[in-house]
Homo-oligomer: A and B are copies of this chain.
Amino acid sequence: MATQRKGRRSFALIDPPVITAWANVAGKKESEGPLRGTFDVTSNDSYFGQKTWEQAERHMQELALEALINKAKIQKADIGLVLSGDLLNQCIGSSFTLRNTDIPHLGLYGACSTMAESLLLAAMTVGGGYFENAVAMTSSHFASSERQYRFPLGYGGQRTPTAQWTVTGAGAALVSEKGKGPRITACTVGTVTDLGIKDANNMGAAMAPAALSTIRAHFEDLKVNADDFDLIITGDLGQHGKDVLLTLAQREGLSLGGKIADCGCMVFDNLKQDVHAGGSGCGCSAITLCGELLNKLQRGKLKKILFCGTGALLSPTSSQQNLPISGVCHAVAITGG
């Protein structure tokens, strides 16, 4: 397969890798939301039958990988490489999932941009001929995230209007050299963009500048514009971050052509489900892409999307040290199968 560098941050895949299968796992709240019916596995038990929420998150990745293998009609031993990461400290959701599976694994950390980062690296890996196929995977869990980043749930802290609700879910996509399915045609790697936001309850605002920077770079590097896409889908700015993105784009004169949608605004009914500004977490864009979006690309209901994974680069330690929150956004252009 050939590739072609495009501009500073982008590359096109001349012989585009194919997303031959995808699978997702979602929690109770997610399976009651607007995307119900697009999930392969759901559970009403926030522990997914495990002893702790962290182990529940690991188990969701296991279930996503299992569902993916079944849908792709392959064996575990047929998987070339798994590229995955999550929000838990030291990415234990991902590493414990791969434990003793004998599947080659590279661990990633891209905060909530991880689904896009893993997909981009899977495209690179397969496009470069290093592995015949690669799985891009990630997860998040509301309860494990809350107690790690904010407060223990039992504390019952109030949430601000700009706060987002971490999605409980996992998604996995199989990227292959050959086969049928949506194809990855080009990618743009993110840069770490920081406009000085310090409010850990307003991560949408922290990520919006990175999203704008990456969308602009993709347009310029690939010589495309909003008209070339059915959807430019960020994941996940939430309602406030999406508003910031639209305002910034207008101010800077970048036409987004009314094509912006955000996974954080699709996964829940923000008002009825009381999630304030919308969904977040690695699992948010993962379950939206590895269900709703890829299904629609497969069925021809979408022809081409720009999937823009956005991540807020902070930790509880950096917040305690009064440091700002940087954002990053990686973009993957996907055309229908």
Interface residue? A35 (CB, 8 A): no
Residues of B within 8 A of A11 (CB): 130-131
Contact of A192 among B95, B131, B189, B323 (CB under 8 A): B95
- A284-313 CB contact bits vs B (8 Å, 1 = yes)? 000000000000000000000000000001
Contact of A321 among B55, B109, B189, B313 (CB under 8 A): B55
Interface residue? A316 (CB, 8 A): yes
- A47-73 CB contact bits vs B (8 Å, 1 = yes)? 000011011000000000000000000
B315 and A90 form a contact (CB under 8 A)? yes
Interface residue? A33 (CB, 8 A): no
Cα A129 to Cα B13 in complex, Å, equals: 11
Residue ID in chain B nearest A330 by CB atoms: B106
Interface residue? A105 (CB, 8 A): yes
- A85-114 CB contact bits vs B (8 Å, 1 = yes)? 101111110011011111111111111000
B190 and A104 form a contact (CB under 8 A)? yes
B328 and A105 form a contact (CB under 8 A)? yes
Min distance, Cβ A114 to any Cβ of chain B, angstroms: 9
Residues of B within 8 A of A317 (CB): 54, 88-89, 92, 148
A129 and B5 form a contact (CB under 8 A)? yes
Cα A109 to Cα B148 in complex, Å, equals: 18
Min distance, Cβ A50 to any Cβ of chain B, angstroms: 10
A90 and B194 form a contact (CB under 8 A)? no
Cα A174 to Cα B280 in complex, Å, equals: 35
Chain multiplicity (copies): 2
Interface residue? A125 (CB, 8 A): yes
A189 and B105 form a contact (CB under 8 A)? yes
Chain A residues bordering chain B, tally (CB within 8 A) = 64
Interface residue? A8 (CB, 8 A): yes
Residues of B within 8 A of A99 (CB): 192, 194, 326
Residue ID in chain B nearest A51 by CB atoms: B321
Residues of B within 8 A of A148 (CB): 317
B3 and A128 form a contact (CB under 8 A)? yes
Interface residue? A182 (CB, 8 A): no
A103 and B191 form a contact (CB under 8 A)? yes
Interface residue? A9 (CB, 8 A): yes
Residue ID in chain B nearest A213 by CB atoms: B102
Residues of B within 8 A of A54 (CB): 317-318, 321
Cα A82 to Cα B134 in complex, Å, equals: 22
Min distance, Cβ A145 to any Cβ of chain B, angstroms: 11
Contact of A101 among B8, B100, B131, B192 (CB under 8 A): B192
Cα A194 to Cα B194 in complex, Å, equals: 39
Cα A125 to Cα B128 in complex, Å, equals: 8
B192 and A318 form a contact (CB under 8 A)? no
Residues of B within 8 A of A88 (CB): 315, 317
Residue ID in chain B nearest A113 by CB atoms: B107
10 contacts between A and B (CB under 8 A): A4-B129, A5-B129, A89-B89, A90-B318, A91-B313, A92-B313, A92-B314, A92-B315, A96-B192, A107-B117
Additional A-B contact list (16), CB under 8 Å, known A90-B318, A107-B313, A121-B121: A3-B129, A3-B130, A8-B104, A11-B130, A54-B318, A54-B321, A88-B315, A90-B315, A92-B315, A95-B328, A100-B192, A101-B192, A106-B110, A107-B109, A107-B328, A124-B128
